Amino acid sequence: MQNITGKPDESHRREAVEGLIAELGQTLAELKCVSSQRLVKLGVSMAHLHVLTMLRHHGAMPMSRIAELLDVSFSNATGIVDRLEERGYVERVRFPDDRRVVLVRQTDAADRLLGDVDVLRSDLIGAVLERLDDDQLARVRQAVVDISAAVEAELTSAPEKYTLLRDHAHSHPRSGATTAPATAAITSPPLPTGVAG
């Protein structure tokens, strides 16, 4: 639809964008709710999952950095990490070159937990997509490609607006590829295996 100036009707476009945001939000909330039920049974909250996911992508981090990325106080971050440590999902280790530096890193148990969550999400999303016909699948795939390109364009076009996001940016694997933790940009060098805390 166009207005008298020949430009697209911005109010209709805004309504379309807001409607899509609402629908996506509701759909993602449903998927998040279902996939988090397993975590609840294991005593793992969404805050715990967030920390584990950050550690998976970035490698070992000091507590101050975890608090910063979670946007919580140091004491709150410590409480979250304490509970994860009690469950065997993280460990505190000292950096060999400076024993005063204590880093938090995930354990093999956390790797297994995150793998289980990924499989659950993949299975659920796969089952949902199986309900679509070929034309619908093609449209969804193209829409996802378009959204991914728009996300990258937005983050690149206004780096100052997304400084904190880009400050701990990492590449997200596509099509089942794996990504090595991008630790160099935000932490000390990776700790050798077996370093005690």
pLDDT by residue (tens digit) across 108-140? 999 988 888 877 778 888 898 999 999 999 999
| First-residue to last-residue Cα distance in the chain | 64
The reported pLDDT for the residue numbered 7 is 56
**Protein fold of 10-131:** Arc Repressor Mutant, subunit A (1.10.10)
Percent of the chain as helix, strand, coil, to the nearest 5: 60, 10, 30
The whole-number average pLDDT for the span 147-164 is 82
What amino acid occupies position 3?
N
The whole-number average pLDDT for the span 13-17 is 90
pLDDT at 43 over 80: no
The answer to whether 82 and 71 have CB atoms below 8 angstroms apart is no
What are the residue boundaries of the structural domains of the chain, listed by start?
A: 10-131
The whole-number average pLDDT for the span 35-61 is 84
Of 79-88, 142-151, 186-195, the least confident: 186-195
d(CA 88, CA 78): 15
d(CA 33, CA 29): 6
d(CA 30, CA 33): 5
The reported pLDDT for the residue numbered 105 is 94
Please state whether 59 falls in left (phi above 0), alpha (psi between -120 and 50) or beta: left
24, two tokens: 């996506």
Q: What is the pTM of this model?
A: 0.57
pLDDT at 197 over 50: no
Nearest to 187 by CA among 99, 48, 63: 63
Q: pLDDT of 64-90, one tens digit each?
A: 999 999 999 999 999 999 999 999 999
What amino acid occupies position 96?
P
| Confidence class for position 101, pLDDT limits 50, 70, 90 | confident
Give, in order, the Cα–Cα distances in Å from 111 to each of 58, 168, 169: 13, 20, 20
